[in-house]
Amino acid sequence: MWEQIRSNRIRSAILVAGMGALLLLLGYFLGLYFFDSTTAGLIIALIVWVMMLLIAYFQGDGILLSVAGARKIMRDDHPRLYNIVEEMRIASGLENMPEIYIIDDPAPNAFATGRSPDKASVAATSGLLQKLNRDELQGVIGHEIAHIKNRDVLLMSLAGVILGTVVILAWYATRIMFYSGMSGGRRSSRSGGGQGQIVVLAIGIILMILAPIAAQLLYLAISRKREYLADASSALYTRYPEGLASALGKIATSTTQLKSANKATAPMYTVNPLREEGRAASDLTSTHPPISERIRILRAMAGASVADYDLAYRQVKGRTGIIPVSALNDSGDLALRAASAETEPAEESTEKVKRTRDTSELMWRLGNYRTLVCECGTKLRIPPTLRAPNVRCPHCGRSNELT
């Protein structure tokens, strides 16, 4: 996977440099407008740029996780998710255990973020935990761990934070210009008003155009190739491509839309969360390859190696392969494994009930609710804000003391 890692580094560098250029341009014009000095503007822009880079590098993952409304969980909160992440960590040969986060959302999806393979996070929605069985969850987590292992995560969090800042800055800049423009443009009027006004207006328009273009650039940077590679790695780790294929199928047929996703965070997810409400995700989107195609490739795999994925890709797409040659060389003959016991249809319905119960327990607990079991067997969820000394059971009428 070294070629992929190197291409990621180059892309990151281009992204960061492009952003810098955009900011310097902004600084140049702002300095001209507000201070009559382009150097002051450039210096300010430079400071903002460096600060942004530092924030994106050291805090990027934290910001993205909080924007997504993700909450960190420990081992005991959801042993199954924790175990699966650890299984995939072992299978991929990743040295450090990533942090695990849960997003309270019924739409099944997941993403990975972080600075490096040593400091990374995996986030899954509660819907994902409810809908997928063990093999499927393993496939999705394998895909996320592959993003960490292939070093896609730094680029993703960097891109997300930078894009967010550009959008916000552009918004404020146009606002400031609009209002100061209304009041006659105090400073620009000194140095020959009319021309300054036009320049300012032009910048405003340029910035408004640039923000969506930056978004587009980000969409291109997080390329489809990366998703295919992560799928191939997931199959390699789990030795069971059917798990991911069937998980993608379940995610695709789910019609709920992820509440917390926006344009900046969309490219991070396993499946593009920004599809229209009520519509299946099988349509073409630019950040993610169509799900149906990903499923077809995974199902066409004859073995579990990266070379098998490449072969299946060529079969489905009828084009040249997707995997870098360096990665193809040292992959041997790897057989697929059988499904785990839980995937059997007979188990599925009881498993589903248990999964749903486990996940909702977890969400109550994460919301700091206390659970009280009444003598009649009813479970009472006590909100953390309740100050009353006792609570009446709505089922049998017994009064339960809160201790």
Write out the residues near another protein by the rule CB under 8 A: 79-80, 83-84, 86-88, 90-93, 134, 237, 239, 330, 332, 340
In 3D space, the residue among 200, 222, 84 whose CA is nearest the CA of residue 145 turns out to be: 84
Length of the chain in residues, anyone? Answer: 403
In 3D space, the residue among 176, 210, 181, 212 whose CA is nearest the CA of residue 197 turns out to be: 181
- Min separation Cβ 380 and another protein, Å: 19
- Min separation Cβ 103 and another protein, Å: 22
Residue 239 or 314: the one with the smaller Cβ distance to another protein is 239
**Spatial separation of the C-alpha atoms in residues 296 and 290, rounded to whole Å:** 10
**Spatial separation of the C-alpha atoms in residues 284 and 44, rounded to whole Å:** 41
**Spatial separation of the C-alpha atoms in residues 21 and 43, rounded to whole Å:** 13
Marked catalytic residue, from 99, 136, 144, 227 = 144
Residue 239 or 365: the one with the smaller Cβ distance to another protein is 239
Tokens 């047929």, residue located: 253
- Min separation Cβ 334 and another protein, Å: 8
Is 199:177 a contact under the CB 8 Å cutoff? no
- Min separation Cβ 337 and another protein, Å: 8
Residue 66 or 371: the one with the smaller Cβ distance to another protein is 371
Residue 64 or 88: the one with the smaller Cβ distance to another protein is 88
Q: Following DSSP, what letter does each residue of 33-56 receive, concatenated?
A: HHTS-HHHHHHHHHHHHHHHHHHH
Measure Cα distances from 37 to 188, 235, 313 in Å: 11, 57, 56
- Min separation Cβ 80 and another protein, Å: 6
**Spatial separation of the C-alpha atoms in residues 35 and 147, rounded to whole Å:** 45
Query: Which residues does residue 125 pair with via DSSP β-bridges, in sequence order?
Result: 103
- Min separation Cβ 342 and another protein, Å: 8
Q: What is the 3-state secondary structure (H, E, C) of 194-230?
A: HHHHHHHHHHHHHHHHHHHHHHHHHHHHCCHHHHHHH
Active site (annotated) includes residue 144:
yes
Q: What is the 3-state secondary structure (H, E, C) of 123-147?
A: EEEHHHHHHCCHHHHHHHHHHHHHH
Residue 113 or 331: the one with the smaller Cβ distance to another protein is 331
Residue 233 or 285: the one with the smaller Cβ distance to another protein is 233
Residue 145 or 258: the one with the smaller Cβ distance to another protein is 145
**Spatial separation of the C-alpha atoms in residues 308 and 346, rounded to whole Å:** 31
- Min separation Cβ 335 and another protein, Å: 11
- Min separation Cβ 89 and another protein, Å: 9
**Spatial separation of the C-alpha atoms in residues 323 and 157, rounded to whole Å:** 24
- DSSP SS3 for 91: helix
**Spatial separation of the C-alpha atoms in residues 233 and 142, rounded to whole Å:** 7
**Spatial separation of the C-alpha atoms in residues 88 and 90, rounded to whole Å:** 5
In 3D space, the residue among 328, 15, 334 whose CA is nearest the CA of residue 165 turns out to be: 15
Q: Which residues are catalytic?
A: 144
